[in-house]
Amino acid sequence: MCWDPTPAQLAADAEYWTPERRAAAVPETFGLTTPPAAGELKAPMVAPSRADVTVAPFSYGGKLFYTRGGQDYSASAQFLARDNTLLAAAHSMYKGGNQATNVTFYRAYDAGGGTKFDIQNVAVLAGWPDVADDPPSPQRSALDYAILKTSEDSDAGKFALGTDADF
């Protein structure tokens, strides 16, 4: 399933994703809204630390902002393969019978900032709409991928399986 977003869907209006609106966007939860109880968590193998989004491979990723069903959301995405291709989750782009609108991506977003990229095309796997509203499962996860095409190439490179690789 692929759609060509209209100019209104592309968040072409630079005024839409203001810093305030980006800060207020609800993080996509994939339906997991109850965190585990403190006693259920195991100690981490290493101390957690904040990723430096100016350094590869973290610089290839960022935040995807979009509206779906009248609500503004945020999720993660990452440049990969070709320089203008993003990988994201299908549940960000299509859920509840609603396609995402006002879609834009900020590479190296860290509580603000980042480089803005407009989105030209979005594709989810053909089977995704049939399972989009099902509870989390391995079958649903196997289809939960979206590919987005940006209007400009990444200014920081992309995640690939080798130097200058297209995959």
**Whole-number pLDDT of residue 11:** 56
User: What is the CATH superfamily name and number for domain 2-16+56-150?
Assistant: Trypsin-like serine proteases (2.40.10.10)
List per-residue pLDDT tens for the chain, 167 residues long.
Answer: 665 556 566 555 678 899 999 999 999 876 555 666 767 777 777 788 888 999 988 999 999 999 999 999 999 999 987 789 999 999 999 998 899 999 999 999 998 899 999 998 899 998 999 999 999 899 999 999 999 999 898 888 887 766 556 55
Sorted by where each begins, the domain ranges of the chain are: 2-16+56-150
**Whole-number pLDDT of residue 92:** 93
| Of 34, 46, 50, 19, residue with least CA distance to 112 | 19
Residue 17: count of CB within 10 angstroms of its CB? 20
User: How many whole angstroms separate alpha carbon 87 and alpha carbon 109?
Assistant: 16
Could you give the C-alpha distances from 56 to 23, 39, 111, in angstroms and in order? 24, 35, 18
Q: What is the reported pTM?
A: 0.83
**Whole-number pLDDT of residue 7:** 59
